[in-house]
Structure 1
Amino acid sequence: MTSTINASPTIGTSHWYLAPPGARSGIGAPADTAAPVALVAPKRFHPLRGYSTSVELVTRQGDLLLRDAARAAGRPGGGVLHYRVAGGPGPVVVVFDPAHIKTIMTADESIAPSATRQSPLAPIVGSESVLTSVGDRHRQQRALLLPRFHGKAVARYQDSIDRATDAGLAAWPVGKPVALAEVAQRITLDVIMSAIFGLPDPHDTTAAERDMRTAILRFLRLSTTPIATVSQLANARRTEPIGLLKLVMTAVDRTVYRVLAQRRTDGDADTRDDIMSLLLTARDTDGKPLSDTEIRDELIILLLAGHETTANAVAWTFERLTRAPGVYRLARRAARHDDEDYLEALINESMRSRPVVPIVARELKAPFDLGDTRVGPDVVALISILLLHHRDDLYPQPFAFEPTRFLGVRINPYELMPFGGGIRRCLGAPLAMAELRTVVGAILRRVELRTTSAPPEKPLHRNVTMIPGRGGIVVADSIT
């Protein structure tokens, strides 16, 4: 990295998401054309610097990291950012160079295991889920679940995706502002519930299953409120929830255990081919069935991760499109002509510019040489997908929304990482992509959205996700 932020007058803004389309990030490329964005730092109370950094990582993550990465560009060790987070795991480094990311992602799990046990999701999904487990247990869980999210299994879910999409569009009001995340959330939650419970129709559910669906949606709505941010900080590094989060999760768990008890009573798990039946009939390495707690943890992560990230990817796609009228017209034309290449490029560009999961983490148990910097041991490496996706050398004009950058391009898995990478790559990625193709394509073909000159929506950080601050507000002028 040879660029500096002093080569020419800077473009000043207080937030990265407000940067003009032609701006550079200042990360990873020479300063020879346009000025990089100069992100204005908020005032900090220095005696509480560690706590200030903790709050910024939760509330202004993109501003903090893009600002510091641009300032460090061209300096020795500038490809790695160093922080100490109060109340956190100790020393933290932020990595955003594709070569460094590959080094960490492909390292043996014994020296670079996932840091998900320290994730904000840990007190929500529990210690027994495929997200929070490591080592042999994680490999066994992944081997058990992976076939349900690939190949023929995803093809079997297509009818459910189509039905849920039709139902979601039918309930969409014309001429009124709508938070697209909520529309997409109902669609994707119905799809993942169909996959988990093997329902022939997304709405053919029992009372217990409907109660669980309602409880999860209520939890997601609460998680976007300011008090949820305070609760997230209070629960940092805990494996069991406390305070408000405990009250909310107790209500959710009650509905999950009711569904689990109902399915055990039905006693038909051996004859069904759904994820719930798979978990009910599974055996551990000692031949023992999974406990209710183990099944609960798997169900919670599948229900939440299996729909919430996809729903917000849909919302971000149209939040971006409605602010780029020319691209929106091209996307509608591509959908009407079944141009799958352009739609795939559109989805990739949406996930590049607004990655729903902006960071993944690894615990470094041994020293790692990352360019001219040695990090570890006993350091947590935060792999910033947001910074990676906004490198000038990988994506010229990274703040522009331009799907054509992905046409005819073979994607390097360490340069575009919307689903993470390595052995921890999201196992539901194929199902998520099938949903995105269907839902985004259907909206483009059937809904005429009103474009807008409104400022971009502020990214809101919720647990490990980055979502549109207002839910991706759009207005439909017509629906067919």
Structure 2
Amino acid sequence: MTVTDDRLARMRPFAGDTGRKLPRGALPPGPRWPALLQSIALVRFRHWFVPRMHRRYGDCFTVRILPSGSALVLFTRPDHAKEIFAGDPEVFHAGKGNAILGPIMGEHSLLLQDSAEHKRARRLLMPAFNGAALHGYQDLVTRIARDEVGTWTPGRPFRSLDRMNALTLEVILRVVFGVTDESRLAELRPLVNKTVDISPAILLGWGYPWLQRFGPWKATVQNQRELDRVMYAEIAERRRATDLDRRTDVLSRLLQVGAAGEGDDQPLTDTELRDQLVTLLLAGHETTATALSWALYELGRDAGRLARARRATDEGDDDYLEAVMKESMRLHPVIPMVVRHLMAPATIGGVNLPRGVNVGPSILISHSRGANFDEPGVFRPERFLEGHVAPHTWIPFGGGVRRCIGAGFSLMEGVAVLREVLTAYDVAVPAGPADYPRVRNITSVPRHGAKVVVTHR
């Protein structure tokens, strides 16, 4: 059995102790469909299903999910989100809430760990994403963005999602791995893309190993084996490097943990390194790429806001460009919800919930509530500059002690890319039907790729 096969077997999302079966009367109301149908609706048809359930059942409702007998209670008000994010991390376990990612991310992933293990992993990774580190990465992001933008053909419509995915993948490969060898980059790019571009059915299939002998599940497992092979080869090669102390990439930083007996931490094993690096690699590029593609698409549909963004670019007004990114994330949520698993009974919004239930704020509903955002269906970046965005209403990065460590990096990268695009080009959207989201793995992306056309300024 390979190390990949061992991980897939151990990290089955529906295996092990899922908590006691949850009686229907102990939870808020929700649909009475079979758990399989509700799971499919939640994962595959979330943009229809979640708003419909909100309209029917109110501000908190229960979705029965696989394995049969498990449940997710979604909350939709800012005070609900505040309570969940402020909840005792020993009770509100995020790692177990992200279990569906386990086969890909691995047990040591920052997203899969809880309690002391999570605190340690976060402490080790944070120096790579603090203010000083972000400042150091900015020139790299700008150079990569400028090179990418220089390849575009004016006047020819293209899928901005594809180009933003390529750009942000290049950034994260260099920031996380410090890889500059073109042959290694050429190996990694298609493997990462195949890991990201999978349907929700593949994710549900992780819980049923017999599926991995067939079709797309079999291909996905083989891709995981290949990705692991390249990852471990890069880790082994970097361990032999003699200039780690002069490198600033995340892998080199992590390899120095516990070096020469310094500090209280033990050196990270190859498996620990692999899990953290895959997590950063996958979580660190697709979400930003999607937000950027929607940002370009929305600017291309609104000549007035495009002119305002161009002016901000010319004047060095990064605050407005950051507001464009934030509004893109608000109007087009990439992730639908933030999930915690209750390790003990808890009360949220006056609702008493038993141990074993999954709970979480719905990002989809929070970002589209009229009570949270005036004219929620309108793309208006100015709302983030006017002081009208209340706490716990804009939550694309989660909150509390589990807030995404890459939030600052994502916004810095988005601003740098928008600046390079708008310095060189005007952006428009070609004629055709409006784009709308489709579900890809656990994220939502523009169904038609957020097509735009650029012309020289």
> Normalising TM by the smaller chain, what interval?
0.7 to 0.9
The 10-residue stretch of structure 1 (53-62 or 450-459) with the greater mean CA deviation from structure 2: 450-459
8 Å contact kept, 2:95–2:113: no
Q: Does 1:113 align with 2:69?
A: no
Offset at 1:274? Answer: 2.5
Offset at 1:286? Answer: 7.4
Can you list the C-alpha shifts for 1:358-405, whole angstroms capped at 9, x where unaligned? Answer: 211001233333334322322101321111111111112211112222
Can you list the C-alpha shifts for 1:222-244, whole angstroms capped at 9, x where unaligned? Answer: 42xxxx33212211499x98633
Q: What's the counterpart of residue 14 of structure 2?
A: none
Aligned partner of 1:234 among 175, 191, 205? 205
Can you list the C-alpha shifts for 1:329-375, whole angstroms capped at 9, x where unaligned? Answer: 33233333333333232222111111212211001233333334322
8 Å contact kept, 2:78–2:366: yes
Q: What's the counterpart of residue 382 of structure 1?
A: 360
Secondary structure at the aligned position of 1:474 is classed as strand
8 Å contact kept, 2:323–2:381: yes
Number of positions where the alignment pairs a residue of Structure 1 with one of Structure 2? 419
Equivalent runs, 1:438-457 vs 2, <5 Å: 438-452=416-430, 454-457=432-435
Q: What's the counterpart of residue 479 of structure 1?
A: 456
Equivalent runs, 1:152-231 vs 2, <5 Å: 152-198=132-178, 204-220=180-196, 222-223=197-198, 228-231=199-202
Q: Does 1:368 align with 2:346?
A: yes
Q: What's the counterpart of residue 19 of structure 2?
A: none
Under a length normalisation based on structure 2, what TM-score does the superposition of the two structures give? Answer: 0.85
Q: What's the counterpart of residue 93 of structure 1?
A: 73
Letter in 1 for 2:186: R
Letter in 2 for 1:262: E
Offset at 1:328? Answer: 2.7
Can you list the C-alpha shifts for 1:269-300, whole angstroms capped at 9, x where unaligned? Answer: 34433311122222499754221111111111
Q: Structure 2: which 5+ runs fail to align?
A: 1-30
Over 3 Å counting, the alpha-carbon distance change for 1:116 and 1:474 in structure 2 is farther
Under a length normalisation based on structure 1, what TM-score does the superposition of the two structures give? Answer: 0.81
- Partner Cα distance (2:68, 2:370) in 1: 31
8 Å contact kept, 1:88–1:237: no
- Partner Cα distance (1:80, 1:91) in 2: 13
Over 3 Å counting, the alpha-carbon distance change for 1:250 and 1:398 in structure 2 is same
Over 3 Å counting, the alpha-carbon distance change for 1:382 and 1:287 in structure 2 is closer
Letter in 2 for 1:71: R
Equivalent runs, 1:287-302 vs 2, <5 Å: 288-302=266-280
Over 3 Å counting, the alpha-carbon distance change for 1:344 and 1:138 in structure 2 is same
Secondary structure at the aligned position of 1:186 is classed as helix
Q: How large is the Cα RMSD of the aligned pairs?
A: 2.5
Q: What's the counterpart of residue 322 of structure 1?
A: 300
Over 3 Å counting, the alpha-carbon distance change for 1:209 and 1:331 in structure 2 is closer
8 Å contact kept, 2:200–2:442: no
- Partner Cα distance (1:248, 1:88) in 2: 29
Q: What's the counterpart of residue 220 of structure 2?
A: 245
- Partner Cα distance (1:292, 1:395) in 2: 46
Aligned partner of 1:56 among 25, 41, 66? 41
Offset at 1:319? Answer: 2.3
The 10-residue stretch of structure 1 (117-126 or 382-391) with the greater mean CA deviation from structure 2: 117-126
Offset at 1:322? Answer: 2.5
Q: Does 1:268 align with 2:243?
A: yes
Over 3 Å counting, the alpha-carbon distance change for 1:268 and 1:313 in structure 2 is same
More helix by share: 2
Over 3 Å counting, the alpha-carbon distance change for 1:274 and 1:343 in structure 2 is closer
- Partner Cα distance (1:409, 1:236) in 2: 44
Identity %: 33
Can you list the C-alpha shifts for 1:97-154, whole angstroms capped at 9, x where unaligned? Answer: 1111111111111111114564432211111111111111111111111111111111
Offset at 1:324? Answer: 3.1
Over 3 Å counting, the alpha-carbon distance change for 1:255 and 1:89 in structure 2 is farther
Aligned partner of 1:395 among 373, 377, 383? 373
Q: Structure 1: which 5+ runs fail to align?
A: 1-45, 73-77
Over 3 Å counting, the alpha-carbon distance change for 1:257 and 1:352 in structure 2 is same
Offset at 1:412? Answer: 3.9
8 Å contact kept, 1:115–1:380: no
The 10-residue stretch of structure 1 (176-185 or 112-121) with the greater mean CA deviation from structure 2: 112-121
Offset at 1:259? Answer: 1.1
- Partner Cα distance (1:264, 1:182) in 2: 33
Q: What's the counterpart of residue 468 of structure 1?
A: 446
- Partner Cα distance (2:360, 2:168) in 1: 28
Secondary structure at the aligned position of 2:352 is classed as strand
Q: What's the counterpart of residue 257 of structure 2?
A: 282
